[in-house]
């Protein structure tokens, strides 16, 4: 893990390899951001003058490395050999309303810039981040961005270029209590994000429901979390027809795992449900070849809730968190479920499986039904659930549906955490897509793709009773097949973790006497 240090010291001889600065793109030219920067006694005038002649314009995610000699007369005082300037695009003043709601407010832009810089510095030992960080929101953004951006998939063979080894953040707040809290939060978020990304990147021949369960057990043991494991025999015995049905076509049997953080006198009890399809071939409703490789990421929801409960424990949050991992592999072998099979779910609902590729809602519904038996104060599920999410919102904006107050709370927490979640409706008229003459519900309307993300949300709604509920569809954002951007690498992204952590810590602070929604 990348080491994080905060410093107020104005000593220009900071013992690091690189100094990181940010520049905005204003009137086609780069403008160095120096407000709120602990400048270590350095004079950036020469750099600010030279920057426009380099071809670097300060555009979002652009970076330039320059030798530290551009600092002119100060150069002998600087240990670092080079500077990295990262572009923020337009300045840090609030952007459009939509961008702010999508997490790209001032803090979001700083988080992205710090993340981009840290990502670009892979292979280096150390860097000092001289970014605006003299108020707490800015400091949080810079520390979180830098640590989350400093990532490489630890399972890769041959080994990847090592992530940046040490992040030093210069801030006037360094010795305050709030700064240590921000530091702890950044470390916990980065650890959880790396875990989620590592799991998503792991190929499905190496990450089966069983090996995922073993990883969860090792993490639970290490972090002092409770764990309960239901294997296939128990799932059958206890009526989890959805999970068993999806898993029965695979030689790797399904599991349902509960990982719990239980503090003393918890303010609330929150259930998190994660979709954990270790590979989604579509089953007998087979996917086309081009859609398949990405389906190793179909367990991203489970990886995210495992990361979230780990972070809750590391930060000793005041809420009880039960993370449910609904793990199965969706394969089309001889005993696979057939389109038209009818399964009986944990809560007794019968479901006609009209499309075996709509498997996520089957495993999620069983896990939701089980989770609400414990009477949580609220339940959040997160899943790479529908291709329709990508059609509707693209691959960087997730959808959030559910009980309106909780749905909007998720969107708010996301914006604060620098993530993009957009509230989507659950229109009653679409509920008829789930009707069938043969069972209580069907899992898909094979004749219409209209509102596919919302229909999936309506299906899940059937299983949450009257518990406040939010459904997070991260199908696009969970996995980055294109170029890296901001703190987001190629492959698993950890999308949703910062949002869940923001919500959990928020609710951990709320006194138990306050009425719950």
List the binding residues for Mn(2+). 275, 280, 298, 357, 359
Taking the chain, what is the end-to-end CA distance rounded to the nearest angstrom? 38
Cα 129 from Cα 517, distance rounded (Å): 40
Q: Which helix (H) or strand (E) holds 498?
A: helix 497-509
Determine which residue in the list 120, 232, 298, 381 makes contact with Zn ion, applying CB under 5 A: 298
Farthest CA pair distance, the chain = 82
| Interacting span for ligand BES (CB under 6 A) from 55-63, 163-171, 200-208, 352-360 | 352-360
| Among 367-375, 385-393, 415-423, 483-491, the segment contacting ligand BES (CB under 6 A) | 385-393
Q: How far is CA 458 from each of CA 326, 349, 432, rounded to the nearest angstrom?
A: 19, 14, 10
Find the radius of gyration of the CA atoms of the chain: 24
Q: Which stretches of 152-271 are DSSP H helices?
A: 177-201, 209-223, 232-237, 241-247
| Interface with ligand BES, residue 430, by CB under 6 A | no
Least spacing, CB of residue 475 vs Mn ion, in Å: 10
Smallest gap from Cβ 385 to ligand BES, in A, equals 6
Report the distance separating Cα 403 and Cα 390, nearest Å. Answer: 22
Instruction: Report the alpha-carbon distance of residue 366 to residue 235 in Å, rounded.
Output: 10
Is residue 360 part of the contact set for Zn ion (CB under 5 A)?
yes
How far is the C-alpha of 283 from the C-alpha of 285, rounded, in Å?
5
For ligand BES, the nearest residue by Cβ is 387
Q: How far is the CB of 459 from Zn ion (least distance, A)?
A: 13
Residue 327 Cβ vs ligand BES, minimum distance, rounded to whole Å: 14
Please give the Cα distance from 374 to 101 (Å, whole number). 33
Binding residue numbers: 275, 280, 298, 357, 359
Beta-strand pair 166-170/126-129? parallel
Residues forming beta bridges with residue 168, ordered by sequence position: 5, 128
Please give the size of the binding site for ligand BES, defined by CB under 6 A.
Answer: 16
**Of residues 83 and 385, the one with the C-beta less far from ligand BES:** 385
Q: What is the smallest separation between the CB atom of 430 and ligand BES, expressed in angstroms?
A: 12
Which of 475, 495, 498, 500 is close enough to bind ligand BES by CB under 6 A?
Answer: 475
354 makes contact, choosing from ligand BES, Zn ion, Mn ion, none, with CB < 5 to 8 Å by partner type, with none
By a kind-dependent CB cut-off of 5 to 8 A, residue 475 interacts, out of ligand BES, Mn ion, Zn ion, none, with ligand BES
Catalytic residue annotation? 287, 361
Q: Which is nearer to Mn ion, 187 or 351 (CB)?
A: 351
C-alpha separations of 264 from 1, 67, 305, 317 in Å: 29, 53, 21, 10
d(CA 258, CA 273): 9
Give the E-state strand segments of 300-432 in sequence order.
320-330, 341-344, 350-353, 378-383, 398-402, 421-423
Q: CB under 6 A: which stretch of 43-51, 112-120, 381-389, 411-419 binds ligand BES?
A: 381-389
Name the residue nearer to ligand BES (CB basis): 387 or 465: 387
444 binds ligand BES (CB under 6 A): yes
Size of the site for Zn ion (CB under 5 A): 4
Which of the ranges 79-87, 250-258, 354-362, 367-375 carries the binding residues for ligand BES, by CB under 6 A?
A: 354-362
What is d(CA 413, CA 232) in angstroms, rounded to the nearest whole number?
Answer: 36
Nearest approach in angstroms of CB 343 to Mn ion is 16
Positions touching ligand BES (CB under 6 A) are 280, 294, 298, 355, 357-360, 384-388, 444, 452, 475
């Amino acid at each position: 893990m990348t080491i994080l240090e905060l410093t107020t010291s104005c000593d220009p001889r900071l013992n690091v390899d690189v100094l990181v600065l940010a520049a905005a793109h204003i009137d086609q030219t780069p403008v160095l951001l120096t407000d709120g920067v602990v400048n270590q006694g350095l004079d950036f005038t020469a750099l600010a003058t030279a920057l426009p002649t380099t071809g670097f314009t300060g555009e979002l995610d652009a970076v330039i490395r320059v030798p530290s000699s551009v600092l002119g007369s100060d150069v002998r005082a600087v240990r670092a050999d080079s500077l990295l300037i990262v572009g923020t695009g337009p300045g840090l003043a609030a952007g459009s309303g939509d961008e702010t709601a999508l997490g790209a407010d001032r803090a979001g832009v700083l988080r992205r810039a710090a993340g981009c810089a840290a990502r670009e510095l892979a292979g280096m030992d150390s860097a000092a981040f001289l970014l605006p960080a003299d108020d707490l929101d800015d400091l949080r953004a810079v520390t979180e961005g830098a640590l989350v951006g400093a990532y490489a998939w630890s399972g890769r063979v041959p080994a990847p270029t090592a992530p940046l080894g040490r992040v030093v953040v210069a801030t006037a707040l360094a010795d305050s209590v709030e700064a240590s809290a921000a530091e702890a939060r950044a470390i916990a978020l980065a650890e959880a994000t790396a875990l989620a990304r590592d799991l998503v990147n792991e190929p499905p021949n190496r990450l089966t429901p069983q090996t995922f369960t073993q990883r969860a057990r090792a993490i639970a043991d290490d972090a002092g979390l409770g764990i309960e494991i239901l294997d296939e025999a128990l799932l059958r015995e206890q009526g989890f027809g959805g999970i068993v049905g999806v898993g029965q076509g695979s030689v790797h049997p399904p599991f349902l795992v509960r990982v719990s953080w239980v503090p003393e006198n918890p303010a609330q009890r929150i259930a998190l449900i994660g979709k954990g399809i270790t590979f989604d071939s579509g089953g007998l409703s087979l996917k086309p070849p081009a859609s398949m490789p990405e389906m190793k990421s179909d367990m991203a929801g489970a990886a995210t809730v495992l990361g979230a409960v780990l972070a809750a424990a590391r930060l000793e949050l005041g809420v009880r968190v039960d993370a449910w991992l609904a793990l199965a592999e969706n394969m089309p072998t001889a005993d696979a479920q057939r389109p038209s099979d009818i399964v009986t779910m944990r809560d007794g609902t019968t479901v006609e499986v009209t499309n075996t590729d709509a498997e996520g809602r089957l495993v999620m519904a069983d896990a939701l039904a089980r989770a609400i038996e414990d009477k949580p104060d609220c339940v959040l599920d997160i899943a790479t659930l529908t291709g329709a999410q990508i059609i509707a919102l693209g691959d960087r904006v997730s959808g959030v549906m559910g009980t309106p107050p909780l749905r909007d709370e998720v969107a708010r927490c996301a914006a604060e955490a620098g993530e993009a979640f957009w509230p989507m409706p659950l229109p009653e008229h679409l509920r008829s897509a789930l009707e069938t003459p043969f069972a209580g519900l069907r899992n898909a309307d094979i004749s219409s793709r209209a509102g596919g993300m919302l229909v999936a949300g309506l299906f899940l709604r059937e299983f949450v009773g009257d518990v406040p509920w939010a459904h997070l569809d991260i199908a696009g954002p969970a996995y980055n097949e294109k170029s890296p951007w901001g703190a987001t690498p190629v492959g698993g992204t950890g999308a949703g973790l910062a949002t869940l952590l923001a919500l959990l810590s928020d609710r951990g602070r709320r006194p138990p006497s306050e009425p719950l929604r």
